[in-house]
Amino acid sequence: MKDHLLFIGKNLIRMLLLLVAVSIAAFILVSVSPIDPLQANIGQAALGSMSAEQIAKLEEYWGVGVPPIERFVSWASDFFRGDMGVSLLYRQPVAKVIAVKLENSLWLMCLAWLISGTVGFVLGILAGVKKDTWIDKLIKGYSLLIASTPAFWLALLLLMVFAVWLKVLPIGLSVPIGMEAAGVTIADRIQHAILPALTLSITGVSNIALHTREKMIDIMESDYVLFARARGESTWSIVKNHGLRNVILPAITLQFGSISEIFGGSVLVEQIFSYPGLGQAAVAAGTGSDVPLLLGITVISAAIVFGGNMIANILYGIVDPRIRRGGKRS
């Protein structure tokens, strides 16, 4: 019990240090960005018709001319008090903007995470049991092909086929165009999330499938499986009684570790499908120099990704106690 608490405590400390480092790195990148917030959000033509007083007020609003260190210290002190600031683009509290965008992104990513994990796990078991058969070669070939396929290319392909040519799915957005929020149903949300979730699911299948396949092959070639075959157990009985219990925990651990990949892929997918999630808001905040929103999204995103990795590390410690003890043998 003490080892478990110590292991979790170390991961929490690493998480806090990571969030601080990520926020500093994000702020430095925004500060050295060549993008002029006034020209990016107001436009050169509009600025040319404004008076010097109006431009000065806009510079004060966007924080132009304020020393970067002073801006970061001000943001960090407010953040630790629970105030993320006000978004310069949306003119709303950053926490409110992130809550709305994160709800859309989590709906999308959870759907893709569950589908990719389930499908990849089943395909990996099937390929491992049917080693060197046409089924195994087909699954392995598919996984290797998808692993080398860019997510944005796959998203464009699915968009062209199902939304443009076949016209069976909406072309983008998270809800029907022109419909009030009160009138949006769960069916509408699912329909608009199918293509983005399918894109993330397909790209996430290969990793879990290939890993589970290798683990299943090791199990099927083990001595205790050979003994089970000698006792007359069927292949399905061996998979059910000996295979699943040995591959499911490593597969779950790997799946939690893939949260970062799904989160990163969602940024591109949301842009392509015009899905109003956290990734699209991050791109808008970066190109529009909305520092409070960008830093808020960065910290929340890093926390989610590190949370998934921390769960994976904890599960690894459960699977192999040597990891929890720092690699030392008892």
- Give residue limits of the domains in the chain: 94-324
DSSP letter at 180 equals: -
pLDDT of amino acid 120: 92
pLDDT of amino acid 294: 86
Quote the CA–CA distance of 126 and 121 in Å, as a whole number. 9
pLDDT of amino acid 28: 84
pLDDT of amino acid 38: 66
Quote the CA–CA distance of 82 and 202 in Å, as a whole number. 38
pLDDT of amino acid 124: 92
pLDDT of amino acid 221: 84
> What are the structure tokens assigned to 48, written together?
């040319």
pLDDT of amino acid 329: 43
pLDDT of amino acid 255: 84
Q: What is the pLDDT along the chain (330 residues), one digit of tens a residue?
A: 676 677 777 878 888 888 888 888 888 887 777 766 666 666 666 666 677 777 777 767 666 667 778 888 888 888 888 888 888 788 888 899 999 888 888 888 888 889 999 999 999 999 988 888 999 999 999 999 988 888 888 888 988 888 888 888 887 766 666 666 666 677 777 788 888 888 888 888 888 999 999 988 888 888 888 888 888 888 888 888 888 878 887 888 788 878 888 888 888 888 888 888 888 888 888 877 778 888 889 888 888 888 887 777 777 666 656 555 554 444
Quote the CA–CA distance of 26 and 24 in Å, as a whole number. 5
pLDDT of amino acid 44: 61
Cα distances from 192 to residues 90, 107, 162, 170, 322, in angstroms, run 24, 11, 12, 6, 45
Q: Which of 231, 220, 329, 276 is nearest to 90 (CA)?
A: 276
pLDDT of amino acid 77: 86
Classify domain 94-324 at the CATH superfamily level.
MetI-like (1.10.3720.10)
> What are the structure tokens assigned to 22, written together?
């990520």
Is residue 179 a contact partner of residue 188, using CB atoms and an 8 Å limit?
yes
Q: Report pTM.
A: 0.77
Quote the CA–CA distance of 107 and 95 in Å, as a whole number. 18
What is the three-class DSSP state of 107? helix
Q: Which of 62, 67, 66 is nearest to 87 (CA)?
A: 62
> What are the structure tokens assigned to 236, written together?
């399905």
